[in-house]
């Protein structure tokens, strides 16, 4: 087992950590919620917010295992804070010379996969990590790594809010200080809410709106401002044989295909609709104030544009299009578009099919 070194600025790092007055504090739901989200996003059985003290790793929040702290010398997070600008990923700890004989690997909780995003203080010092871990080896996809980094920033925002609240309590006798700190607390809270809202509505890999944002947009698009039904078409777009791209070209190339298609969709529907990532290799396009024939032509142009993408290998899409009917829900419209997409794939792929 290789023990983690201590950063060159260890004294300043510890001073910054102690300013937050968080070590050995009670569990708090705001931290627990972010740990639950990190575990779900990364698909692991365990996750934690950890802070690195002089000789110990202390858990502010932990899910999937009961523990309060661990020796710093045995912690993977002790290694992660040595590279504060990067997420440290260990796909299989048994194959890593630093950890193969570590007690947390050879014994409970038998960690094989680990990913830790450093928690960086306002003055740039690493205090600990938001980490996810699992007893099975895993690969961390780029979009999941980006989401983990975003959540680590949210942990630091919560720590800042907590510190502001403690400062407010200490200075309530002085009205001017109280009002200033309350204003700072409010600004940080607004920034946190805005950041969380953006994360919850945007796909990290493509930058397009996600399924949740599209569902809200579709509900608005099928009804006019005065409450009358509005002519709207929806298209479901699926990359043909995407699994083969991942299998034979690699997941990095698959991610590049998704990102390039995201750029194309954004430009294709700019000013005349909305495109979003629906999930996996599937996208959805919303075309308000467009009849079914016009929507079909738009999708044919899109299909041809995808085939011309300069990716170095052929990529095509199959598309199913449906026009919203006044007597149906938006879910039913999407279901008809999905059925049309299924026909397009069944009829040879690289084609557009209309829902009756």
Indicate which residues carry an active-site annotation: 281
Contact in structure between 312 and 209 (CB atoms under 8 Å): no
Contact in structure between 246 and 254 (CB atoms under 8 Å): yes
DSSP, collapsed to helix, strand or coil, labels residue 273 as coil
Eight-class DSSP state of 97: T
136 by Cβ neighbours in 10 Å (0-12 / 13-18 / 19+) ranks as exposed
Q: In angstroms, how far is the first alpha carbon of the chain from the final one?
A: 64
Contact in structure between 181 and 168 (CB atoms under 8 Å): yes
Contact in structure between 269 and 313 (CB atoms under 8 Å): no
Eight-class DSSP state of 325: P
Strand ranges for the chain from DSSP E: 46-52, 56-63, 69-71, 88-90, 113-120, 126-134, 232-239, 274-279, 282-288, 317-323, 352-354
Rounded Cα distance between 196 and 9, Å, is 32
Contact in structure between 114 and 92 (CB atoms under 8 Å): no
Contact in structure between 126 and 51 (CB atoms under 8 Å): no
Contact in structure between 333 and 285 (CB atoms under 8 Å): no
**Which positions ≥6 away from 172 have C-beta within 8 Å?**
178
């Amino acid at each position: 087992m290789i023990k983690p070194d201590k950063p060159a600025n260890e004294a300043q790092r510890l001073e910054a950590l102690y300013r937050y007055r968080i070590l050995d504090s009670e569990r708090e739901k705001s931290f627990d919620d972010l740990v639950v989200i990190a575990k779900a996003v990364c698909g692991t059985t365990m996750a934690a917010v950890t802070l690195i003290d002089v000789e110990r790793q202390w858990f502010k929040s932990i899910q999937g295992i009961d523990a309060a702290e661990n020796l710093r010398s045995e912690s993977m997070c002790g290694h992660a804070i040595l590279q504060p600008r990067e997420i440290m990923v260990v796909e299989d700890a048994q194959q890593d010379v630093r950890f193969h004989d570590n007690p947390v690997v050879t014994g409970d909780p038998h960690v094989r996969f680990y990913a830790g995003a450093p928690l960086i203080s306002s003055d740039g010092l690493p205090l600990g990590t938001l980490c996810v871990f699992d007893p099975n080896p895993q690969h961390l996809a780029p979009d999941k790594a980006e989401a983990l980094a975003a959540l680590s920033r949210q942990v630091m925002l919560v720590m800042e809010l907590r510190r502001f609240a403690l400062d407010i309590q200490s200075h309530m006798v002085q009205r001017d200080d109280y009002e200033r700190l309350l204003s700072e607390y409010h600004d940080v809270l607004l920034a946190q809410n805005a950041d969380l809202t953006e994360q919850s509505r945007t796909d990290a890999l493509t930058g397009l709106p996600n399924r949740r944002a599209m569902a809200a947009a579709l509900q608005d698009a099928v009804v006019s401002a005065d409450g009358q039904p509005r002519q709207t078409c929806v298209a479901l777009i699926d990359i043909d044989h995407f699994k083969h791209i991942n299998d034979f070209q690699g997941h990095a190339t698959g991610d590049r295909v998704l990102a390039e298609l995201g750029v194309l969709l954004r430009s294709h529907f700019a000013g005349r609709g909305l495109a979003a990532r629906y999930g996996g290799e599937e996208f959805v396009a919303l075309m308000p104030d467009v009849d079914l024939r016009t929507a079909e032509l738009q999708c044919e142009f899109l299909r041809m544009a995808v085939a011309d993408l300069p990716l170095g290998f052929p990529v095509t899409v199959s598309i199913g299009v449906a026009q919203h009917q006044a007597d149906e829900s938006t879910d039913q419209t999407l279901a008809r578009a999905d059925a049309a997409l299924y026909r397009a794939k069944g009829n040879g792929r690289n084609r557009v099919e209309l829902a009756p």
